[in-house]
Amino acid sequence: MSVGIVSYGSYIPRYRIKVEDIARVWGEDAETLKAGLMVSEKSVPDLDEDAATIAVESARAAIENGNIDPVRIGAVYTGSESHPYAVKPTSTIVAEAISATPVMTAADFEFACKAGSATVQSCMGLTSSGMIDLGMGIGADVSQGAPGDALEYTAASGGVAFIMGDNESEPIALIEDTYSFTTDTPDFWRREGSEFPQHGGRFTGEPGYFKHVIGASKGLMEKMGTGPEDYDYAVFHQPNGKFPTRVSKELGFSRDKIEPGMVITKLGNIYSGSCMMGIAATLDQAKPGDRIFATAFGSGAGADAFSIKVTDKMEQFQKYSPKVWDQLKDPVYVDYAKYAKHKGKLKRS
């Protein structure tokens, strides 16, 4: 398979809120929460930022980082749980902003936290079939969590765009294979018109995250005849720090292999972009020939696993592209009141 990642770009808001500031409002013990979640702070959108603006910034970064002619992009797909419009695509906004219109196709994807990885698989299919030259898959979210809910400590904001192509001379990383594992498991949901999602709390981990991530991961390795020892890095969806740490251990990946992509500790969970951001952070430091194993998870529930191999084009790409961990430096911290204002949790009658 010659289809792969030709370029990628990410965007993370500068604003952050610390776990201590959220815990103080709700009378919770911050140290216990930080130890349990393995998260110390999370990103907060600016007052004028939503999933569309974040997707646009990520897309522009991917175009610039790879010096891509946007006219070549024949598809733009945006995966998100927080599309700003119920009826009006985010992806057309992105396509217009990067000057990819009008000869192209666009659509919005939804599948909880793996909507982003679904866009990547779709772009893989379109490019490898020859229907389009390049395809852009985006995972972007301004994640929701009700005030006082456990999700509030991790639900964050950010986005990642991958440009996929099938020209053998272009990819900085090849997608060797992919494998999906999907069932109807209602571990997390938000009905139309509801402002915040609901979930089954601590009872959702085993039937949701672990069953599907392990199912997809083992399925791909069995399909390819590979094992953890064949990969230099691993990335798993990061709803918190504990879940990917545990699942990597269960699958046989050592801690040092997941560490480069563990952005959850300083970023929080950006839902549709979570696994993609971990992949981007890992690609930032990977060397030609390195192999990355990655599995995205989305409640509802499903998981997409990928085997990625870095090409010799990566070294040149890394010289000019901003690094994910660098974007997490120099944050602007806000207190809970400003956080609530930025997130639109304060309503005027």
Q: Which domains does the chain have, with CATH numbers?
A: 3-172 (3.40.47.10), 176-316 (3.40.47.10)
Please check the confidence at residue 196 and state whether its pLDDT lies above 80: no
The pTM score is 0.96
| Active-site amino acid positions | 81, 113, 237
| Structure-token pair, residue 90 | 């985010």
pLDDT for the residue numbered 194: 74
Average pLDDT over all residues of the chain = 94
Residue 190: band (very low, low, confident or very high) from pLDDT cuts 50, 70, 90: confident
| Structure-token pair, residue 35 | 């130890």
86-138 residue pLDDT tens: 999 999 999 999 999 999 999 999 999 999 999 999 999 999 999 999 999 99
pLDDT for the residue numbered 144: 85
127-181 residue pLDDT tens: 999 999 999 999 999 998 888 888 899 999 999 999 999 998 899 999 999 999 9
